[in-house]
Structure 1
Amino acid sequence: MDFYFDDLPSTSQSTPKSGQEDSQMTEDTDNESPRGKSSSLSMTDIQEQNTSSKDKLVAKVTEMCQQMKEHLFTVYEENSNEMQLKLLELSEVLESCTKLNSELLEASHALAGLRGALAISKTSETQKLSDVRIIC
């Protein structure tokens, strides 16, 4: 009986030897190391870019806030000056109204005195007329 073992697959080919396995793992880790370093470098670069972008954004926002603040002060001053002029004008108008009110009160008192004088004179005329009728 002859048995041929040559046709059967060899177990040594399918299973790596312990020395080969270690060298393959070392190669795999060596291949991943630069990738790991480059990814960590790129993460650092990304973080720096994000920080730089945030710093630029903060600077831009601060600048815009300062411009807005200056604009608000300018508008406030313009409005304040306008209001000052209008208040001065209103004060003059109120002073004129007070003066006119005083003049109207004087005229009213004068008219009341005149009406009283006319009433007295009318009473005396009525008295005279009734005296004249009695005589007639």
Structure 2
Amino acid sequence: MDYFFGEAPASNSSQNEGRDEDPRMLQVDDSEASSSRNDTEENSSSYDISRRVQELVDKIHNHRANDHKEIESFQQTIVDKVTEVCQQMKEDLYKAYEENSDEMQVKLMELTNVLDMCSKLHRELLEASKMLTGLRDGLAVNGTAESMTD
């Protein structure tokens, strides 16, 4: 990438061939030497500009690479934190399940006891009902036998 900021001097060498001592020839030679120095300076400054531009581009790429690393690090940190929070939530849920299971177990035992008592009372009521039916039947039989003897 060469940048020239000045115009190159026109060469008069075809007009001045054969005139070795022409003052214009010396002037052309001086201007060519000056032009050569200017070209060297321009090439040097052009090289400096190119080098600085490349350094800036490299610096930008390095910053972008660092930004990318930072984002990946941040993302990994977030993933780790979310994983940790999810694990804690699971543990809390399992703890709540255990507590609820223990409470339900106690209540189920109480319900089982109540149902056993209800079943026992039901059997006792059936027995009492049978006895009352037998007593009533016995009284009815006795009442009809007495009325026949009278």
TM-score normalized with structure 2 length: 0.67
Gaps of 5+ in 2: 10-38
Q: Percent identity of the aligned residues?
A: 38
1:49 counterpart letter in structure 2: E
Find the residue that maps to 1:16 and give its secondary structure.
Answer: coil
Counterparts of 2:137 and 2:100, CA distance in 1: 54
Q: Deviations over 1:1-42 (max 9, x none)?
A: xxxxxxxxxxxxx9633948x726534422311110110110
Counterparts of 1:15 and 1:70, CA distance in 2: 77
Aligned to 1:109: 130
Gaps of 5+ in 1: 1-13, 130-136
Match status 1:60 vs 2:81? yes
Find the residue that maps to 1:46 and give its secondary structure.
Answer: helix
- Number of residue equivalences: 115
Aligned to 2:110: 89
Larger helix fraction of residues: 1
2:73 counterpart letter in structure 1: S
Structure 1 residue 77 displacement after superposition: 1.1
2:115 counterpart letter in structure 1: L
Counterpart pick for 2:58 among 18, 33, 37: 37
Runs of 4+ in 1 over 6 A off after TM superposition: none
Aligned to 2:141: 120
Counterparts of 2:8 and 2:92, CA distance in 1: 80
1:16 counterpart letter in structure 2: E
Change (3 A) 1:94 1:107: same
RCO comparison, higher one (Cα < 8 Å, 6+): 2
Match status 1:73 vs 2:64? no
Q: Deviations over 1:68-89 (max 9, x none)?
A: 1111121111111101111111
TM-score normalized with structure 1 length: 0.74
